[in-house]
Amino acid sequence: MERSFCLILLSMLIALGPMQADTKSSIYNAYINRDMVAWKAVMTSLEKVQPKTLPQLLELVNYQYGYIGWCLGMNNKNEAKQYIDKGEANLALLEKHAYQPSLVNAYKAAFIGFRLDLAPVKAPVLGPKSLELMELAIKQDKNNPFGYLQFGNGLYYRPKVLGGSKEKAMAYYHKAERLMEAGETSNDWNYINLLALIGMAYQDLGQSDKAEAYYQKALRVEPRFSWVKEELYPMWKQHIPSSNQ
């Protein structure tokens, strides 16, 4: 009986490995092609897996995080709210099991940021909580790139009167970049998204040469990256003086 159980468990673990690799690859391809229908299909498929392992649950939170960002960018607030609720419920489960606390706290900070996007009036209450979670995430794991990314986002988007600084945010973005590059970046939508984000930030700061360098870096990493290839880099070229091209 015990041997049979072990064989069943082993077969489940073997099956989960390829599935996680497949979902990561599918999400990556959906991202580089800006195919959010495919993204949502992969995410929904993973939502239906029962029971989920803790790594699968954290993976799902990452996909929900990306999808919420897209929903907010498209001003689809109702769907964003739906997935914020789902993501926070998943984070509560992960927290209950004390799984990857640094990552969980970084995501919790990000999801508070999403709620602030929906209701900026709540900033005096939610803002300090988000900052506290970002700081905790970095304290818990100084090698967690997502913690630095979220801290950078907090600095970048927070008003100056509340301690925001776009210039200081860049140091945290670059720290996240270095930590990601110290690990595995292939088929990782988070990595190429960070490169695009850094490019946009430099463009916003008026540092055109650095913006171009990051758009080019993103395309070297992934030549099919349609957001940069078809939108961000062409828009950069339109706004740069012809003498600098």
Q: How do residues 99-136 score in pLDDT, each as one tens digit?
A: 999 999 999 999 999 999 999 999 889 999 999 999 99
Q: Does residue 2 surpass a pLDDT of 90?
A: no
Q: Do residues 52 and 72 share a domain?
A: yes
In-domain check, residue 222: yes
Compute the mean pLDDT over every residue in the chain, rounded to the nearest whole number: 90
Q: Do residues 218 and 170 share a domain?
A: no
Average pLDDT over residues 21-50: 95
Range of the domain at 229: 192-245
pTM exceeding the 0.85 threshold for the entire prediction: yes
In-domain check, residue 9: no
Spell out the alpha helix ranges (H) of the chain: 2-32, 36-48, 54-73, 77-96, 101-118, 123-140, 145-157, 166-181, 189-204, 208-221, 226, 233-239
Average pLDDT over residues 192-205: 98
Q: Do residues 134 and 241 share a domain?
A: no
Q: Do residues 133 and 169 share a domain?
A: yes
Q: Do residues 55 and 122 share a domain?
A: yes
In-domain check, residue 8: no
